[in-house]
Amino acid sequence: MTIHASYGEAFERFAAALPATERAARAAAFDTFAQRGLPDDGIERWHYTNLQPFAAQPVHLALATAAPDLSAWRLDGCDEHVWINGRALNDAAAPAPLPSLDAHAGLAGLHRAFATPGLQLTVPRDVRLDRPLHVLSVSDAREAGEMFHLAHRIRLERGAQALLIVQNIGLPGATRFSTQSLSIELAEGAQLTLVRVQDEARGTTHWLQTAADVGRDARLDVVNVDLPCETADPIPGEAAAAKASGTLIRSDWRVKLAAPGAHAELSGLFGADGRVHLDNQYEIDHAAPHGTSRQWFRGLGFGPSQAILNGRVVVQRGAQKTDSEQRIANLMLAKGAEIDAKPELEIYADDVKCAHGASCGQLDDAAVFYLRARGVPEAQARALLIYSFINDVLARVPHVALRLRLARRITARLGAGLDLSEATLSGAAA
């Protein structure tokens, strides 16, 4: 296991700035990383992704940079919390406990050793947050190999409700390596909707782990929008090495339905192009009876890229009356695209309803013709059908302006103008 010496140097620098009380735990975490390294594709859960090469490359702590112009990402009516290269822009730097992660030990060790506190949110009992929280984690790498590690912690007390939008933004620049964790705890009857939008820059290696504990009758809704870097052309400000190195985004979603009646709905939209490697691993662990879970995923193979979707449902012994369904549908749009889908079931109880389906195919020619017969040009017909294909997931984004922004981005990528006015989208039925 080769680990580049620069990791150790970065850690010494990082640890020197820590309060003495934290150092021991951080050092232990770093030791675990040093011993175990990063996961390789010989491990079943990392079957399609190998992080080990990144352990052998030089890294250094991301530099502090000035706040960039965020207007393109700003969402109206939200409470905004911004982190740039892992540093809070407007949140008080409160000490936070180290995240505990159920993940590859070496990778978890790396994250724990370097983690800086992200959003630390507790929503009190029966409080419903009026405004959505918009968390922006911006990565602005000026020099090759910059890294940062950010840990968010969210707790909703009994009956609390919130909408959280977590957006990762990569400004064009050098190659970089970052990790992020989201630890979520939902007490009895709490309801959280989490929208994650991944907008990392080319040349990024990023690992996200979201771990949620869903309590009795609580509900978690996740919409994960994981879209490709959208151009094959050079981007102003982008280092040649970043363009050449491709992008690797790995996201682990671990949801535990820990008490009876817990409900989780995960949906994801992913599309890859231009040497992007997207690996999404979802796991729902039914650990108590009467849990329900739904998962809807839509994947697009835009171009030379590899997208992986592993959706795993575990029903523990005793988790009777579990009701779980998972649907994965992928659309192959170009040569060179690879989509690997693996819907898994692991069931240790008998009185359960579990179903999953995965499909991979192309647009339905009959539907394209139907649209053309009504006068819609072929390119637009295809765009409309692709839009409708992903709309099942997109429609789950509760923030209308964000939903429209995402929809426009995708249809712009499809290259045919579609009317995405609100009136059309909602059907204006009323």
Partner 1 sequence: MAANPSDIPVPAEGIEALVQNRKYAAGFVTDVESERIAPGLSEDVVRLISAKKQEPEWLLEFRLKAFRRWLSMREPHWAHVEHPRIDFQAITYWSAPKSMANRPKSLDEVDPKLIETYNKLGIPLKEQEMLAGVQNVAVDVVFDSVSVATTFKQKLADAGVIFCPISEAVREHPELVKKYLGSVVPFGDNYYAALNSAVFSDGSFVFVPKGVRCPMELSTYFRINERNTGQFERTLIICEDDAQVSYLEGCTAPQRDENQLHAAVVELVALDRAEIKYSTVQNWYPGDENGVGGIYNFVTKRGDCRGRASKISWTQVETGSAITWKYPSCILRGDDSVGEFYSVALTHHRQQADTGTKMIHLGRNTKSTIVSKGISAGHGQQAYRGLVRVLEKAEGARNHTQCDSLLIGDQCGAHTFPYTEIRNPTAIIEHEATTSKIADDQLFYCRARGIGEEDAVSMIVNGFCKDVFKELPMEFAVEAQKLLQVSLEGAVG
Partner 2 sequence: MSQLLQIENLHAEVAGKEILKGLDLAVNAGEVHAIMGPNGAGKSTLSKVLAGAEDYVVTAGTIRYQGRDLAALSAEQRAAHGIFMGFQYPVEIPGVSNMMFLKAALNAQRKERGEPELDAGDFLAWVRHRVKQMKMDPAMLSRGVNQGFSGGEKKRNEILQMLVLEPRLMVLDETDSGLDIDALKIVADGINAMRSPERATILVTHYQRLLDHVQPDVVHVLAAGRIVKSGGPELARELEEKGYGWLQQAA
User: According to CB under 8 A, which residues from 354 to 373 bind partner 1?
Assistant: 354-362
Give the Cα separation of 100 and 103 in Å (integer).
9
Q: Which does 126 bind (CB under 5 to 8 A by kind): partner 2, partner 1, none?
A: none
Only one of the segments 16-24, 109-117, 123-131, 367-375 lies at the binding site for partner 2 (rule: CB under 8 A); that segment is 367-375
Give the Cα separation of 314 and 411 in Å (integer).
36
Read off φ and ψ for residue 54, nearest 5 degrees.
-70, -20
Give the Cα separation of 207 and 120 in Å (integer).
20
**Residue 375, interface with partner 2 (CB under 8 A)?**
yes
Shorter beta-carbon distance to partner 1: residue 222 or 328: 328
Category of 90 on φ-ψ map: left (φ > 0), alpha (ψ -120 to 50) or beta: alpha
User: What is the per-residue DSSP string for 245-308?
Assistant: H-EEEEEEEEEEE-STT-EEEEEEEEEE-SSEEEEEEEEEEE-STT-EEEEEEEEEE-SSEEEE
Cβ-proximal residues to 376 (8 Å cutoff; 6+ apart), any chain: 384
**Residue 266, interface with partner 1 (CB under 8 A)?**
no
Q: Which does 347 bind (CB under 5 to 8 A by kind): partner 1, partner 2, none?
A: partner 1
10 Å CB burial of residue 321 (0-12, 13-18, 19+) is middle
SS3 125: coil
Beta bridge partners of 79: 133
Q: Between 272 and 311, how does the x/- string for binding to partner 1 read (CB under 8 A)?
A: -----------------------------x----------
**Residue 332, interface with partner 1 (CB under 8 A)?**
yes
Q: Which does 143 bind (CB under 5 to 8 A by kind): partner 2, partner 1, none?
A: none
**Residue 102, interface with partner 2 (CB under 8 A)?**
no
**Residue 427, interface with partner 2 (CB under 8 A)?**
yes
Only one of the segments 2-10, 20-28, 76-84, 332-340 lies at the binding site for partner 1 (rule: CB under 8 A); that segment is 332-340
Are the CB atoms for 315 and 344 separated by under 8 Å? Answer: no
10 Å CB burial of residue 218 (0-12, 13-18, 19+) is buried
Only one of the segments 130-138, 219-227, 229-237, 325-333 lies at the binding site for partner 1 (rule: CB under 8 A); that segment is 325-333
Q: Which structure tokens are listed for 98?
A: 């180290």
Cβ-proximal residues to 315 (8 Å cutoff; 6+ apart), any chain: 286, 322, 324, 345, 346, 347, 348, 349, 352, 354
Shorter beta-carbon distance to partner 2: residue 19 or 427: 427
Q: Pick from 22, 378, 400, 408: which binds partner 2 (CB under 8 A)? A: 378
CA 220 to chain centroid: 15
Q: Pick from 171, 197, 385, 414: which binds partner 2 (CB under 8 A)? A: 385
**Residue 50, interface with partner 1 (CB under 8 A)?**
no
**Residue 428, interface with partner 2 (CB under 8 A)?**
yes
As a 3-state breakdown, the chain gives helix, strand, coil percent values, each rounded to 5, of 25, 40, 40
Q: Which does 337 bind (CB under 5 to 8 A by kind): partner 1, partner 2, none?
A: partner 1
Give the Cα separation of 304 and 248 in Å (integer).
13
**Residue 389, interface with partner 2 (CB under 8 A)?**
yes
User: According to CB under 8 A, which residues from 30 to 49 bind partner 1?
Assistant: 44
Q: Pick from 53, 388, 408, 415: which binds partner 2 (CB under 8 A)? A: 388
**Residue 335, interface with partner 1 (CB under 8 A)?**
yes
Q: Pick from 392, 409, 412, 413: which binds partner 2 (CB under 8 A)? A: 392
Q: Pick from 70, 129, 349, 420: which binds partner 1 (CB under 8 A)? A: 349
**Residue 366, interface with partner 2 (CB under 8 A)?**
yes
Give the Cα separation of 59 and 197 in Å (integer).
26
- Minimum distance, C-beta of residue 392 to partner 2, in the bound complex (Å): 6
Q: Pick from 82, 144, 339, 393: which binds partner 1 (CB under 8 A)? A: 339
Are the CB atoms for 182 and 95 separated by under 8 Å? Answer: no
Q: Which residues bind partner 2 (CB under 8 A)?
A: 364, 366-367, 369-378, 380-381, 384-385, 387-389, 391-392, 418-419, 421, 423-429
Instruction: Note the residues at the interface with partner 1 (CB under 8 A).
Output: 44, 301, 317-318, 320, 330, 332-335, 337-362
